[in-house]
Amino acid sequence: MKANIKILVILLTLIVSSVIFTKQVSAQQGNMSFQVFYDQLSPYGQWVDYPNYGYVWIPDAGSDFSPYSSNGHWIMTDYGWTWMSYYDWGWAPFHYGRWDYDNYYGWFWVPDNEWGPAWVIWRRANGYYGWEPMQPGVSISISFGGEYNRNNNHWIFVRDRYLDRSDVSRYYVNRTSSDRIIINSTVINNTYVDNNRNTTYVSGPKREDVQKFTGRKVNPVAVQENNRPGQNMSNGQLYIYRPQVTKNNDMGQRPAPSRIVDLKDVKRPSERNVTNKPQTVNKPQTVNKPQKVNQQQNVNKPQKVNQPQNVNQPQNLNQPPKVNQPPKVIQPQTVNQPQTVNKPDNNRQEPETNTANPQKSTNNSKALEQQNANPSQNNRREKQQVTVKPSVKNKNGQQKKSKSETDRKKIK
């Protein structure tokens, strides 16, 4: 009996704890405040305090940006025609809140806590479908009234056969034709009631009508919950982040953006586009780094290449012609300058020995080198030769010889 009581107590505690845990989880999901918008969208635009609206977000998307027109397309889901955006931040401003237009600042987004496939008004004309962003504070019933046409320039029309194309932006009708088309158009007042969120959506054209005009079958795409900010298509399903959002935080306080830009500091869309583009363009410069490449060209300047020219100066060092001048051995011809000394004596026998006996010339070169080593001895020999040789050819040399002999005897 006691064992059964213990089992019952354990089961009751498990049930109670599971209930408390699920309530905590649901509370966490339901307590997502506007802070998620302020934090997630700050990197992609500017938060400002706009009159009559409070905090609004101005995207840095370029001067040609238009909501439910730029960088996206329509897909059919269980909730109706849903805008599939290619922007990283598209999960929020195209499914929560409303868009409005300022003649100076351009398009800006006013956050709200109701999720929807797209907060737009739909119209149908002969051969055309059109849509326009819903103005903040305007209910669906008022938008269906027919008098709500705040600015015809914001309407986007396309041929009805192109509505379901992923490249639908290529087929937008010129905006100057909007006046003519709107006059002959009617509002499409189809809606979808989401009982889970207690919200009514504008679903847009009927799937059967679109199939008839396009000639293609339109298969609805299932919408799946995504656990982090973003949206993507996978296996024919749309995964999108769409939490339950409250305007206040858990403490009942109104959240605020971490950085709020003064309206007077916000530039026109064209000027913002110019200032924002270099940030994306300079990144490629950090990747390509042409300056660093040019530095390498400066580094690779033939300073290193020219150095080989200095290194190649061994061509001047390669004066092995001077070193290799076997002619240094042959240089005896220049060393044989004694021949110039012997020129007045008509020294014909020595060149004959040089030409007839090359081997002797090498020996003579060695001898001449020795003579160069002992220049005093060579000079004495040359003097002897000079004094002796005239006695051979001149008959009068005997007299000169006798005189020289007498002179020597006197010197002795």
Outline where DSSP puts E strands in 147-279.
156-159, 186-188, 191-194, 199-202, 222-225, 231-234, 237-240, 245-246
What are the structural domain ranges in the chain?
A: 1-30, 35-266, 326-391
pLDDT at 265 over 60: yes
Predicted local distance difference test score (pLDDT) of residue 151: 59
Is the separation of the CB atoms in 160 and 215 below 8 Å?
no
pTM equals: 0.60
Q: Work out the pLDDT band at 175, boundaries 50, 70, 90.
A: confident
Share of the chain above pLDDT 70, in %: 57
d(CA 42, CA 217): 40
Can you name the residues that pair with 225 across neighbouring β-strands? 240
Share of the chain above pLDDT 90, in %: 45
pLDDT at 135 over 70: yes
d(CA 65, CA 107): 8
d(CA 127, CA 121): 17
pLDDT at 344 over 50: no
pLDDT at 388 over 50: no
Is the separation of the CB atoms in 120 and 132 below 8 Å?
yes
Q: Work out the pLDDT band at 398, boundaries 50, 70, 90.
A: very low
Predicted local distance difference test score (pLDDT) of residue 55: 96
CA distances to 111, 127, 136, 210 from 171, rounded to whole Å, are 30, 13, 28, 16
20 versus 231: the higher-pLDDT residue is: 231
Predicted local distance difference test score (pLDDT) of residue 408: 53
